[in-house]
Amino acid sequence: MSMLFTLALAGLAIASPTPIRPKNVTAQNITTLSQSVINGFTPYTWYASAGYCQPNATLAWTCGTSCDNNPGFKPIASGGNGNSVQFWFVGYDPSLNEVIVSHQGTDPKELDSLLTDAEIFRGQLNKDSSLFPGIDDSIEVHDGFKDAQANTATDILAAVQEGMSQYNTSAVTLTGHSLGAAIALLDSVYLPLHLPHNTTFKTTVYGLPRVGDQAFADYVDKHVSQLTHVNNKEDPIPTLPGRFLGYAHPAGEVHIEDSNEWDACFGQDNESKRCIVGDVPNIFDGNLENHDGPYNGIIMGTGC
């Protein structure tokens, strides 16, 4: 990680000192995932990693070995510039029979992205926006994440509709890492408001920062049907912005332990040492090198 990114985070710290486990699993305990369940994440991990891949000189999206790891993938649309607008792609995975949406995370070299991440101002999700009709006024999210999601929302909706119709599927999976995870979580609130009720959604994201307030986390728990946010070891990003600023995580955390066990945490912001809040009680207990992975062997942003 670059010094710039470290400094940006330090600034934030001072400003703020399935195969996939469905969220509806009712075990009131922290459970360790089996290797076969962990392996079920792998296609999505590669898609999250491929979110970093750039359109080439002819502005076609190329994803290199990240796509080789998901053979048969059919790109539908892509966009962004990796600077003021994060890269994104939408495509179809024939073996999963799902439309896949992936968002680029934070490239430490891209100053605009850093600024987006460092903003901690929160605002009403539905303010000045037609993207979230009917959402309660009490629901607030990080302005930078909200703006980043709004930049690509309607293009993504159109591409998802095209994919669902072209490939006759009602399954949509959203993925992303870091800032891309935050955008994907907002997409998982946005898309169901605009797609047929029989659409099934899955959201599998990595290194998710806190996106909104308690009302947002509760809305996600109630309405986002299958959310998993995977946190690696002592990655500090998922502990930001701090809970004392009124931010909260929805349920659905999976925490990779130092032993490489994957633990499914129960509830929101579980304070157990087996989950990120207990493992990284403050930013100085964190290790930014854990942010990019490895997630079951995959380092985010590699393979483009």
Ligand X SMILES: *[C@@H]1O[C@H](CO)[C@@H](O)[C@H](O)[C@H]1NC(C)=O
Q: Which of 4, 6, 22, 72 binds ligand X (CB under 6 A)?
A: 22
Q: How near is the Cβ of 196 to ligand X at its closest, in Å?
A: 4
> Which residues between 123 and 182 bind ligand X (CB under 6 A)?
168, 170
CB 86 within 8 A of CB 113: yes
Q: Which of 37, 221, 266, 288 binds ligand X (CB under 6 A)?
A: 266
Q: How near is the Cβ of 49 to ligand X at its closest, in Å?
A: 17
How far apart are the C-alpha atoms of 300 and 178, rounded to whole Å? Answer: 10
- Quote the Cα angle for 44-173-112, to 5°: 75
Q: Which stretch binds ligand X (CB under 6 A): 17-25, 113-121, 149-157, 216-224?
A: 17-25
The residue number with the shortest CB distance to ligand X is 267
Question: Is the link from the previous residue into 209 a cis peptide, with omega within 30 of 0?
Answer: no
> Which residues between 216 and 235 bind ligand X (CB under 6 A)?
225
Q: Which of 15, 30, 245, 248 binds ligand X (CB under 6 A)?
A: 30
CB atoms inside a 10 Å sphere around CB 92: 21
- Map tokens 């349920």 to a residue: 251
Q: How near is the Cβ of 289 to ligand X at its closest, in Å?
A: 27
Measured between its terminal Cα atoms, the distance across the chain in Å is: 18
CB-neighbour burial class of residue 244 (10 A; exposed 0-12, middle 13-18, buried 19+): exposed
| Residue 259 within binding range of ligand X, rule CB under 6 A | no
Q: Which residues bind ligand X (CB under 6 A)?
A: 22, 24-26, 28-30, 56-58, 60, 62, 168, 170, 196, 198, 225, 266-267, 270, 272
